[in-house]
Structure 1
């Protein structure tokens, strides 16, 4: 671009100034559109999934989008120097596996004058990415005849960066008839999303094409890229340019799928958040470094999406300078190698599911029947929906003493409800709350506590086979739980599940007290998960400790013993403090198994406080992929 630009009829000087803190939102949506519908839209194929060439993993919940703005000063007649851009591309190729880079989007003004020689040199430089990182390029006003829209006809730019360039890329899904607008479908986080790369001056015909693409990919979230979108004032607050306003009114505001719009052309970088017709945020960003040392040195910005944490981590660097020996960088290279100010290195929390609920709602998994979650070796399985509970009421309705929870493994380890002390009806109620991956969509709400002691338990009968099971070949004990938010009252050392009986009666001498039961899963005052077991064969009490469990959210817990040692998992993630001590079996004493409390001196004090869902015990060590929730997450 030039140093001055027309902003709504006013000529405004674009001085170099501080960059603005930026925010970006991203996520992914649900299944790809059928091939027939795609063909009707002028698009074809389906994106490759899973780890492919050069290590990219489309199923990983962490992936990155690279954004490359104006490179025009690197391709400027006889002063051209493509080496910074080559270095950036080598960096993207080399980092593709480590950063899980899905795609690169160029924001236009590839060259300064759009001559055949400049375009030819730029096109050859881009080939560094071919076969590795897929990408899109769009025309900026310096690449073509900027006085005309996308119906301008042939150009040196179109010859080099037209649709034929992308046809072998797995992400390419089609182009407008004129060739200046393209669409690309990416896979990241196990889902698909769309990049819509639009010309510097899109025509009415081009807008109709873009709308047609959106209509045929109605469930994909969209990142729109163009050259001229918005400009920023000296404080970094951005507003739409004249062309950006046309895109907003003609395409963006009426299509809730478009959540992020990226442009270059102007500097300094800036951002704004606009509200679309659906009442949702659309993040509008300017990214451009051509005013910096060496024409920006092909500086790249990486948007790293983390769908587990719900965070976008953004960083900006110049790989050409980064690759040099720090002792040999010039002063200006040293200060430009990486931009670490709040405008160029930051994180932002994103509500992915909420933002895309209007066009790609998350469909919760359906309940799974008991037969689907009974692997070989299942000793007991309890759930609190109609399949497993003898009496199911409304949410919040008490579950009476004597109600039976059937052992769906068929091994006769049914549980019976009993209240502790003088606890009232609300000590145990039925709930339709559940972990999203839980087979049964139901749980029990326990309202246990101290002072006065209260709670409720579910116990096996006196002669149940589980009471005496020794598990010498290993075991897996799984359950789902949720702690209330706020977490009120004193619930220190409340029990989640256990076997009754004293470890001293089993001949154990190593523990904190002989009055402890032989096996229990508990919660410490700091909400650390504690699993303590007195093995059948060893005189020992190996104890696992987790991190502080969160409140207000469902979790999957798993205790896995392979006959030698025990490992505890929370949401499919192995906790840190698992003892290496030998542990073979459980020193059960023929006494009942219990959900909802832990004894001391063969007496119950407080009961559990929170929700407990499906619980399963298997005689053998399961891997996380075989947990009730695959992976446990």
Structure 2
């Protein structure tokens, strides 16, 4: 927290103004002396304040390749390092907790936002340095100077802060990348989720030379996503809506907005906490957050904010809590400790959307896996394999061009299971077009865009030729059916019960009397009105209709779907994950009747012949059928 007039950024009428004024007029303090503990668990005096490094049970447990990791953020701790009023126990407990959680929560890094101490005296800084030693060699971290640690800008020269938290402290850290010539600005590179991430730790008043240094770091590491940390960045009112301070505006104009790789900027200094989203020069979001709890009980009690990155869900989950209270039994906590054990309002507990592939595309575009030729994905157990690029269609498709009726999609196993395009219900050219869209792990970088629908029925199908072996194959020893598909975003219209693929032929004609209707196809993969996948099977052996149901498929995203039957029962997999509702009843083979295997619709037959209603709505990529139960490591998505 600042004691200069520059700290009073909020309007004088704001509710946060009066509380911040309480810190004005801070005076230089005498050297700290030992003090007794104020609460159970506190450290009684300087001689016991140095927390010994706490090693997790397995220091190597941190997984740099896991798509889930955490960054811990600690703001202003100045009231815990304040002359003879110092009590580093809350901070020491937080560091012990982070060491313990290094592997359990996959904590990649910890960053302090400045105002480590109240007056920046040699004694206060020394005590803080001893406390921070608990992290050395356990959890990588960065520290930056706040206005209570140092004064003026980063050209101030030598200080107790620089002697303790300067570059020499981090020289042995695996993440330390370097510091500005003055030593007050630094950067770290840590590895998480299989990539490197950059943290800039910027002095509370960076000079023009410091800004030039920071730009040089970004230029040198131009492909790394970056988090900028500093002390004075933004302020907020009680509504939690943040706005840049004058120093924050300078950082925005001179550094942040023009460097697309900075996707997040974190500051302390002011309270209450708040957040906002700004748009940089590349048109992308930059998340700006204020984190400061020094006004809370026990000076914030060493509270941390944990940013939990989940790159499977493309989400950052944020929570704020005080390990010093969290790790105690309830009867050992002071009553006021319950107020800060965990903060759950909208500025302290929230989630952020972060699609790294999309957000980082401007400076670190994802290199997609290369196309794989058909010979790489056809196996001895492959019955049929179709794809919709030049290899599968015999000529290079043009993105967006209509797919002509009569076009042949060749079976690339050469087993004779070629497919022929046919439009339904006199549908127009636009119901089936070529597309360059594809699943990132699909062998072919092409697909077909279907625009089927109802009222009136429209669509297109690809049907196996009359003598195709796949039309009659019974698959008694098991099978795997794989397809890549994507649903449009927005998902417009009613497409309930549209078919993805099917074997034509009436279930009743196969002697099946169980199931929903004897008129439905002997085997089909469909989508319900709630976008649940439905795999309906009439087995060759059993008089039954075991049916699998998935969860609702999100729109605007590619999925690999696999139906795997081991000769006994079937399991549907989506993106390499088994769905929940797979039937336990036996299912031996498929009751095929020699009717065409079909992509793009599911029909029915009331005894007067096969009829189709609506066609599929979305994209379909590579399709492969095997006469064996494949392991997920053998799916088309595997490289």
Instruction: Sort the TM-score into its range (normalised by shorter chain).
Output: 0.7 to 0.9
Q: Offset of 1:9 from its aligned partner?
A: 10
Instruction: Tell me, yes or no, if structure 1 residue 311 matches structure 2 residue 319.
Output: no
Distance 2:88 2:455 in 1: 75
Q: Superposed, which structure 2 residues align to 1:151-166 within 5 Å?
A: 151-153=156-158, 155-166=159-170
Gaps of 5+ in 1: 18-51
Distance 1:126 1:513 in 2: 70
**Aligned-residue CA RMSD in angstroms?**
3.0
Instruction: Tell me, yes or no, if structure 1 residue 617 matches structure 2 residue 622.
Output: no
Rate the CA distance shift 1:393–1:118 in 2: closer, same or farther, 3 A.
closer
Contact 2:601 2:616 in 1 (8 A): no
Contact 1:565 1:582 in 2 (8 A): yes
Q: Superposed, which structure 2 residues align to 1:487-502 within 5 Å?
A: 487-502=491-506
Q: Name the counterpart of 2:18.
A: 15
Rate the CA distance shift 1:115–1:422 in 2: closer, same or farther, 3 A.
closer
Distance 2:396 2:255 in 1: 50
Contact 1:546 1:575 in 2 (8 A): yes
Q: Name the counterpart of 1:386.
A: 390
Rate the CA distance shift 1:487–1:122 in 2: closer, same or farther, 3 A.
closer
SS of 2:218's partner is helix
Q: Name the counterpart of 1:101.
A: 107
Rate the CA distance shift 1:229–1:450 in 2: closer, same or farther, 3 A.
closer
Q: Name the counterpart of 2:119.
A: 113
Q: Name the counterpart of 1:605.
A: 612
Moved more, 449-458 or 459-468: 449-458
Instruction: Tell me, yes or no, if structure 1 residue 77 matches structure 2 residue 83.
Output: yes
Q: Name the counterpart of 1:357.
A: 361
Contact 2:484 2:559 in 1 (8 A): yes
**Alignment partner for residue 59 of structure 1, among 49, 55, 65?**
65
TM-score relative to the length of structure 1: 0.85
Q: Offset of 1:2 from its aligned partner?
A: 5.4
Query: Which structure's relative contact order is higher, taking Cα pairs within 8 Å and 6+ residues apart?
Result: 1
Q: Name the counterpart of 1:483.
A: 487
Q: Name the counterpart of 1:143.
A: 149
Contact 2:403 2:434 in 1 (8 A): yes
Distance 1:446 1:179 in 2: 60
Q: Offset of 1:564 from its aligned partner?
A: 2.5
Q: Name the counterpart of 2:6.
A: 6
Instruction: Tell me, yes or no, if structure 1 residue 458 matches structure 2 residue 462.
Output: yes
Deviations 1:527-550 (A, max 9, x none): 321112223343432110112333
SS of 2:521's partner is coil
Rate the CA distance shift 1:138–1:445 in 2: closer, same or farther, 3 A.
closer
Rate the CA distance shift 1:519–1:212 in 2: closer, same or farther, 3 A.
same
Distance 1:426 1:139 in 2: 62
Instruction: Tell me, yes or no, if structure 1 residue 174 matches structure 2 residue 178.
Output: yes
Rate the CA distance shift 1:86–1:598 in 2: closer, same or farther, 3 A.
same
Distance 1:458 1:118 in 2: 76
Q: Offset of 1:497 from its aligned partner?
A: 1.3
Distance 2:280 2:496 in 1: 48
Contact 1:448 1:606 in 2 (8 A): no
Contact 2:11 2:17 in 1 (8 A): no
Distance 2:496 2:283 in 1: 45
Q: Offset of 1:618 from its aligned partner?
A: 1.9
Q: Name the counterpart of 1:429.
A: 433
Distance 2:488 2:203 in 1: 52
SS of 1:6's partner is helix
Q: Name the counterpart of 2:634.
A: 626
Deviating beyond 6 angstroms after TM superposition, the runs of 4 or more aligned structure 1 residues are 8-13
Q: Superposed, which structure 2 residues align to 1:180-195 within 5 Å?
A: 180-195=184-199
Distance 1:615 1:432 in 2: 16
